[in-house]
Structure 1
Amino acid sequence: FGEDENMDAPGRLLAFRDTPDAAVAVAEARANHLRRMPRWPEEIGPGATFSRRRLDRPARYRRYVVLVRHPKGSALEDYLVVRDEPASAEPATFNLFVLARRVQQEDRVFRFDGQLGVDAVLFLATPPPESVTLAEWGWPDRGADAAVPEGFVAGRDRHRQGELQQWVRLRARPNQPFLAVLYPYRKDAEPPQMEALADGGGVRVTLGRESEEVYLASTPGRGVGGEAVIRRGGKTTVLLQKAVPAE
């Protein structure tokens, strides 16, 4: 929230469910204060303290995370869907760090040139990417801190040493939810096509003849049937129904 500020409060788990189709977790934090924090680790010195300020009204930040699974032989890889629901008069910022050498933005799609033979694509269903900052952090050339496991055969992956994280930072107006898909795939494979549904309350993921929809929201859209729902192959799986309070 705010300008480089964090919620000065712990989080708590609201709901969790694990099924063969997907696993979903919902957690939130509520705070009366925001604490200013540096953006970069090297800006934090020994014993450093940072100022905090009291909010006129308590702030809430709620997050849904879904791991969408697929059976053997599916054209689709397993992937993550994340929905954040900030509730505050303060503007909010969505941050994502991906282990990759480069990132390229194409409107709502962010393509990552990854490491260890895996690339990734981020699809931003909501909000519109009007205020995006791209940055990176890590040790791209330090062999002693290599992120490659011992005995790993890189194959076509040319990145064998170091760690480099690509940082996607997206700011939005107060109370604007975020919904994003993070989809990893092999470097010799094609990523799926993705589109937003239900005014940003869901996404459709399509690869070849396979297509599925994922819906996440504390206040579900009409006809969705729950706070977390997956539709694929003519089947609807309600992961969460009346399990999370609207407020």
Structure 2
Amino acid sequence: MKGLVDLVGRAVPSFHRRRGRPRSLPLADAVTLVLFVLRNNATQQLTGELWGVSQATVARLCRTLTPVITAVLDQATRPARRIRRGTLVPVDGTLTPSWAWKNTSGMNSGKHRRTGHNIQLAADLRGRLLAVGRPLPGARHDSTAYRESGLAGAIRTGIPVADLGYLGTDCRIPHRKPRHRPLTDAEQDANRHHARLRSPVERAVSHLKTWKILSTPYRGPLDRFGTALAAVAALEIYRSRGPF
């Protein structure tokens, strides 16, 4: 935590005012407040009561510090996110729920039967998060979301490994059952090996969704969800890999 506060403090030295009205919270408390909101998907009013500040102050701190946290952690973890050419990279998609927005089309996922965003992510073979694509409407199919989210470009030096939902992409997928015969023993063995290669990304999804802003319905403006997702992804990479 102290390391993160130091990184943010160097990025926004103006946060420590020497003149004029002092800040409502010191930087360490302000960073903790932002992390609390992301971890618990807490309302700004409740967070303000816990920290003894107004809801407007909570909104301002989240709006100001969330992109800063993302930027400093992206810089700090850049060496760890480099993918050697030819490395196997498990890929998967997941739905992060949100409230039903009547004026926004395409958010309802028929597969999951709820509204939300389709999130594409990649992990290493130890289950540590490598990259997360841009959020897309929940109705988007995984194969389309993989290309449109930018994840394919982010891991282009690796060999992506995915399930049958990524048919038609550059991902390695398991054998499909032919129409007129069952899978051979060799094909079944290959599919079992393929499933073992994919299992780390499922662990990465589970770790990412311990941040409740991604696992419980997102209540903020939809145009700010990408900022929250980027911050959580950066924090999860930093947590699993440590400072560099």
Normalising TM by the smaller chain, what interval? Answer: under 0.3
Q: With CA pairs under 8 Å and 6+ residues apart, which has the higher RCO, 1 or 2?
A: 2
Structure with greater proportional helix content: 2
Q: TM-score, normalised by structure 1?
A: 0.24
Q: TM-score, normalised by structure 2?
A: 0.25
Greater C-alpha radius of gyration: 2
Structure with greater proportional strand content: 1
